[in-house]
Amino acid sequence: MKKIVFFILILIAFNSCERDDICIDEITPRLVIRFYDVDDEASTKAVTDIEVKIDGKDDGYTDEDETIRTSTDSIAIPLRVDQQLTKYYLTINHSDENAKNTDILTVNYTTESVFVGRSCGHKSIFNNSQYGFDDESPSENNWIKRIEVVTTTINNEEQAHIKIFH
């Protein structure tokens, strides 16, 4: 009888355990930019030694998030969730003082908070995104020649949101 009671108590104890809700993935999507060749618009073109700085370090961005340095044909960079505008300083050849060239890309959007689940809480998605240069028209010195919007809604990182031709 004692074995049966002990077995029932253990069964009840294990039955009351529930799965841990752990949010593993980052849930707020980042802005995905693909770089293309301005002379052959169907071909991607890596950007040489690009540095991306996000304006507003004092508003919650860590050193890790604030600066990205790489040579690649695509990047995924965070948007600010505390404002409806993010400004990026995109510098190519950032290691070479004589060749470095910085363009300023601004992104305007509205944020929408979506409940994901108990473990992850809410995520932000970005709607009605508009992209542009800080200058009204690109000059000859700008390395970014043209921007093409792929989608105005940023709700995942599965595809590029904008194409930058250089």
Q: Is the pTM of this model over 0.85?
A: no
Per-residue model confidence (pLDDT) at position 152: 95
Per-residue model confidence (pLDDT) at position 16: 58
DSSP state of 54: E
Domain ranges in the chain? Answer: 25-165
Per-residue model confidence (pLDDT) at position 63: 45
How far is the first Cα of the chain from the last one, in angstroms, to the nearest whole number?
80
**Which span out of 34-38, 79-83, 99-103 was modeled with the highest average pLDDT?**
34-38
In this prediction, residues 59-73 reach a mean pLDDT of 57
8 Å CB contact between 50 and 72: yes
* Residue of 149 and 5 predicted with greater confidence: 149
Percent of the chain with pLDDT over 90: 37
118-160 pLDDT, tens digit per residue, is: 778 888 999 999 998 776 545 678 899 999 999 999 999 899 9
Give CA–CA dist 60/65, Å, rounded: 9
DSSP state of 118: T
Q: How many C-beta atoms surround the C-beta of residue 126 within 10 A?
A: 25
Per-residue model confidence (pLDDT) at position 59: 43
Name the amino acid, one letter, at 7.
Answer: F
